[in-house]
Amino acid sequence: MDSSRLDKIALITKLWPWLFLCALLVFFEAYAQVSAHRSFLFNAYNLQSIGLAAAAPLLLAIGQTFVIITAGIDLSAGFVMGLAAVCVAQFTLFGSGSPWILIVSIPLTILVCLIPGLVNGVLIAWLGVPAFIGTLGMYGVARGAGFLAAGSGMTVSVDNAGLVWLGAGWTPVVLTAVLLIIMHLLLSKTRFGQYTYAIGGNPQSAVRAGINVKRHLLVVYLIAAAFAAVGGIIYTARFAAGAANAGEPMLLDSIAAVVIGGASLFGGTGNVVGTLIGALIIAVIQFGLVFIDVNAFWQFIVVGIVIILSVLIDQYKDRLGGAQ
C-alpha cells in the first residue's frame, strides 16, 4: 500500500469520532425533516436536551480522561458522584433555603468527595494496588457511604434557590463547558499534562526523567474525584434531589466517552476534546433514538457497538502506525 493511501486511512481513523458524530446528526436531521417536517439539529429544545444529557457524564469523563491517560481507571467515580449528590442536598438543608448556604455546601461537598480520590491515589501510587481493584473497592465504600448519608430514603429532596439556578436551563452546560476548557488547557498546554502523558506512556522512563510519579498519580485521582463531585452537585441542582445512585448509570458512559474519543486503556493517549466528542456521540444516540420513537433499551446496544468499533479502530490505527 502506497504511503499517500496510508496517510489518508490514518487521517480517517484519527478523525472517525468527528465523522461519526456528523453522520449521526445528518441521519437524525434527515429523519426529522422527512417524518415530521421539522429540524432535529436546529431546535433549541433538542440542543439543550442533548447538552444536559451529556453534561454529567462528561464531567465524570473529564476526570476519567486524566486517569485513563496514565493507564489507570476509576470505577468509583459513579458512586462518588452519588455521594456528592446526597451530601450537597443534606448540607443545603441546614440553610433554610438560603442561597448563601451554597458558599459552604459546595466546597464542603467537594472536600468530602476528595477523600475517596485520596484513598485511591494512595492505594494505587504508594501501595501498588492495581487501579481496577483499588477503585473497585472504593466503588463499594462510596456506594455504602452515599446510601448512609441519604438516611432512611434513597433520595434527599432540596428546595434551595441558588442550587435550583445551578441546574436551570443552559447553566449546567455552560459550567461544564468552562471546566472542559480549563482542563483541556491543563492537559495540552502545561507541564502537568506532559507528565500525565509521560506516565501513561512509560512510567519507568517518567521516573528516570525526574517526574514524581506517585505524587502525580495522587493528584490525577483527586482530579477524578473532584469532577465526580461536581457532577453530583449538578445532578442535585437539576433534579432538586440528591440520589445515592445518581452516577451509577453514568460510570460506564463516562469510560465509553473517553474510549470513543480516542484514548487508549493502555495509557499514553487521549485528550479532553476527544472525550467531549465521545460524550456527545452517546448523548445524541440516547436522545436521537427517543426522538425517532425507538425503544430506549436499543441505546445500550448501539453504544456498546460504538465502543467495540472504537477499540477495533484504535487497534487498527496502532497496526497502521507500525506499518508506516
pLDDT value for 274 = 93
Give CA–CA dist 243/250, Å, rounded.
13
- What distance in Å separates the CA atoms of residue 64 and residue 260, rounded to the nearest whole number? 13
Residue spans of the chain under pLDDT 70: 1-13, 95-99, 152-153, 316-324
The pLDDT value given to residue 271: 93
For 52-316, CATH gives: 1.10.3470
- Enumerate residues 6+ apart whose C-beta is below 8 A from 261: 17, 65, 270, 271, 273, 274, 275, 276, 277, 278, 279
Decide: helix, strand or coil at residue 242. Answer: strand
10 phi/psi in degrees, rounded to 5: -60, -40
Residue range 260-298, pLDDT digits in tens: 888 888 888 899 999 999 999 999 998 888 888 887 788
Number of residues written out for the chain: 324
Kindly report, residue by residue over 7-26, the tens digit of the pLDDT: 666 666 677 888 889 999 99
For cell 487521549, name the residue.
270
Please spell the DSSP secondary structure of 187-221, one letter per residue.
HHHSHHHHHHHHHHH-HHHHHHTT--HHHHHHHHH
The residue whose grid cell reads 467495540 is 308
Distance between CA atoms of residues 18 and 261, nearest Å: 9
Cα distance between residue 252 and residue 311, in whole Å = 15
pLDDT at position 323, please? 47
Predicted local confidence at residue 322, as pLDDT = 47
